[in-house]
Each structure stands twice: as C-alpha cells, then as structure tokens.
Structure 1
Amino acid sequence: MTTLDETGETEIVGNAEGGEPTSTTSRFTNFDLDVEYPNNLSYEVKFVEEESGVRAKVGDELNNVYLSGDEAKNNVMAILESLTFDEHTEDSEIVIQILTAFDLSDDFTKMELEVRYDTGTVKEYNFTS
C-alpha cells in the first residue's frame, strides 16, 4: 500500500515476511554493498524495497555478525536513512558516508556498491584503497 507521510513524501508500506507493516522513506529502493578486507574478510549488506515489502540481510565477517529478517531490515533501514548521497554525489563523498554510516574501517581492499535510487536511476560504484 502507498501512503503519504507528514512531509508529503510517498512511502511504501508492507512487509514481504508477513509481519508488521513497514514504512520506508529511504532514497534507495535497492542497496547492495560488498566491502572486502585483508585476510578474506568481508562486510555485505543487501536491501530491497518492493511493493510487497522490504527485505534486508547483513553479513559482517569482521565482527562475526549475521542478520536477516526484521532485525536486519530495521538495522539497515536506520543506516540508509542517515545516508545523504545521491546519483550526483562525488565518489569520494560516497565512500566517506558508507564507511561512517556502517562503522567500517578505511583499510578495505575493494568496495562494490550497486544502488537503485528512488528516482529509478541505477548506479554501480567500484572503489579500491
């Protein structure tokens, strides 16, 4: 179901897992992050917003934390709402925001990010340090 929030923005309400309805105001409808670190460790986030609801998953090999279901969805949605970059933002600013928001160190070997913005634009980013 689609509703308007108090700011007049459209939000999608629903949950593909059959739980409580979920509202999102994120600027992303798809967010797929994979950060590789030395020693074959990685940090991965998957977020998909569809009409049927929101799905998210976190795989954090650095801290041995793996989230799915509502826990992952709530965690990831809170982080995505803190991000302010869009398809016009400089790459260096995107890296800074990702590292800060997800509390990641900057000694990564590779970062891959694919996002679908709420405008429908899909962008892929590849960073190395």
Structure 2
Amino acid sequence: MNWIMPKDWKIRYKNELDLSTKYKEEGNLKEAWKYLERAHLIGQYYPIPHTEIHFRMLLFAIEQKNKKEILGQLVRVSFGWLGSWLNRIPVGNTGGANVPIFQPMPIPGDLLDILSDADQTSKSLSGLKKK
C-alpha cells in the first residue's frame, strides 16, 4: 500500500501543479491541462495526491463547462484513490476523460527518472514494482 509520497516525488508533483497554474493564469489552457496530466502521472500512485489531482481536473472542467470531462472526473474523484491504495492503477494514464480509465500508457521520457519503479510491462492495472 502506497500512503506516503517520497519527498522527491512531492517536489516534482508540486512543480507540475505550479506550471499548470502558471499557464492557466496566462490563458494557455492547453498547456495548463497538460501539466495537470503530468501531475496525475506522478500523483496516481498515492491515494491523497491521486484524489487531489482529479479534484483539480474536475474544477478545471467545471470552469471550462466541459460536461464530458466533468462526468469523467466525478467518477475518477470517487474511485481513483482505491486503485492507488491497492497499487492497481493504469501506469502512464494521463487521467483525463479523453482516455479510458483503465488504459495504461507510455510514461513521458522526462518523467521516467522519478517513475523508474513503475511497472510498465503490464497490459492492465499495475503500479509500483514490488521490491
């Protein structure tokens, strides 16, 4: 069970959130969303950050009046924490309603250093490799 996010992960997670906020303030919503997705890639391994990022995505969707994304995020906010708690998440999934909830995806190269323990070999739900 993954409860406490390591310090280096917290720093990277917060950096992605800060970049999202910066781009949103500048009116660049596409980039703002991209950095929410990147924060999701890091936060999805831990129940509290995973729920937090989906809540942020929900608020973003509400602000944009995006009904599909609002519905998608309501489901993810409600149940995403459970996958994190059980270490059964779709590794690499960006967390938006534009991709299937359980679809694993490749991890961007610049995040591989922090996510090196992510099980990228699974074709279904996985998580951090057991040590």
Q: TM-score, normalised by structure 1?
A: 0.28
Larger radius of gyration: 1
